[in-house]
A and B are shown apart, each in its own frame.
Chain A
């Protein structure tokens, strides 16, 4: 039996929940939110490693239409964000289909037919809101099958207790800098395999006082004002991504001062000094990562993990380490999202094939050949300097505009999509993401195009998507 609805939303993280809330609040009740996991929350459900937290201020990393006055900290811990999302999801509880994985989504000429592990759905509008940090990336490692200990990705932590164990942490990205300091306090020893040193800035976190929280509750305008101020303050950070004089120097100087203040040993400091431009890879915030590396519990292995033989792990530089556990903090499959292989548009075109040379979408949301499909968090819809939630909200607004259009079938024209892509490529050309001399998950490895990030200020994305532009559609 096929359940017929107007809209199917795939994914119950920030994007999917937000899309559902906006639909429900305006009275559109004919939708379902499909979630393959048993709970909502997306990346904040999956990532439960010690120390997991957001590096965007909590009052900005939340929906403008569902504000929360009592965030406990300036940067919210992961569990608190998950609680927030669960609370938001209560609004759309009757629309949620948890434990329901999409197997196949096909455009049939007028509607989408979506096959799932929980039955079939037919819809006019299909919204893919599966997130970009949902599919763990496990780099192929020779001998990994021979490892005698436990191997897992940082997003699959669950309730593991690594006390007293010798732990290898592979990677030095956002997850690693958060979990290594916590692990250092309990593990018998940690080896951090660093392929590339990250830039790390101070993390100005603090706990909101009872007075602060009461103030936000009593005076919602002050909370709104804070959000506004946070947004525009963070927008300033874009200047450093395009080399505006002074801004790049200030950012680089801050990172260097932080390293020098926290790491006294010249050898370790040298090993932790990045050799690319700041901002090219994600800039990390931490006050306890460098001290942990400088402490007795952690060994920095300044090269990538090369191979494994039993309990013995060999680094690219030749050093060997005997370990009980290997944690892959190696990020996620971002530039070629696996969900695309399950989406088939007009004439049976497969989205993964369409995106073989890199993800493209008009307005970062719609794809030629895939009528009535909307991708949130898709191509060029992420940010390297501001809150992802701002982008998600802009895309949700755009989707609602499309749903409100009189046309029953909306397919973006190839010409419009090409113009949009060319414009983005032009804007990306002078960014540090393409010219900063690094390898990053923002860039398509095959084409070297910037396919993850929006290459401009966030307000420009918000303005660009503020109105659904029917003229771009066939």
Chain B
């Protein structure tokens, strides 16, 4: 699948190379089949069948099957998902999951990998356990 990544986000340093392992990354003007955007867009290219909006709302009416991550459902016909943690791998999993299995993201459903944010204890212990990552 040809996907275009648009916008900027700290998680992109992690998300982009891992998406590139399994998808063809192309420019927004290169007729992508999917668009993953971290910033507002005025319009979704006609070629796009699947669109993912991270922390931004899509332009309505929707022209593609759409997942909105991190913004509350607003009756716009998109699927919605929340993040339980700040780990970029979780964000990647939602993007990848939607691109592979869009039917698992019902319209309007607030899919989340867990229902609560980590506690202070959780964060402290997780930071201790995690392999070192670039800061």
Contact = CB atoms under 8 A, between A and B. Distances in A.
B126 A230 contact: yes
Contact of B130 (A233, A246, A253, A283): A233
Given A242-B17, A245-B17, A225 B131 contact: no
Contacts of B127: 233
A239 to B, nearest CB: 6
Interface residues of B, number: 40
B114 A246 contact: no
A221 B17 contact: no
Nearest to B123: A229
A228 B96 contact: no
Contacts of A239: 14, 17-18, 133
Contacts of A212: 121
Interface residues of A, number: 44
B93 A459 contact: yes
Interface string B92-119: 1100110011001000000001111111
B18, B96, B126: which has the most chain A beta carbons within 10 Å? B126
Question: Could you tell me the dominant secondary structure of chain B's interface residues?
Answer: helix
B47 to A, nearest CB: 25
Contacts of B92: 457, 459
A385 interface: yes
Contacts of A249: 134
B54 to A, nearest CB: 16
A233 B87 contact: yes
Contacts of B31: none
B89 interface: yes
A468 to B, nearest CB: 14
Contact of B113 (A201, A232, A245, A246): A232
Given A225-B122, A236-B131, 5 more contacts: A224-B115, A230-B129, A232-B85, A456-B21, A457-B89
26 contacts: A57-B125, A74-B128, A201-B131, A224-B115, A225-B119, A226-B119, A226-B125, A228-B114, A229-B118, A229-B126, A230-B125, A233-B87, A235-B90, A237-B131, A238-B18, A246-B134, A247-B133, A247-B134, A249-B134, A254-B131, A457-B92, A459-B89, A459-B97, A460-B93, A463-B97, A466-B101
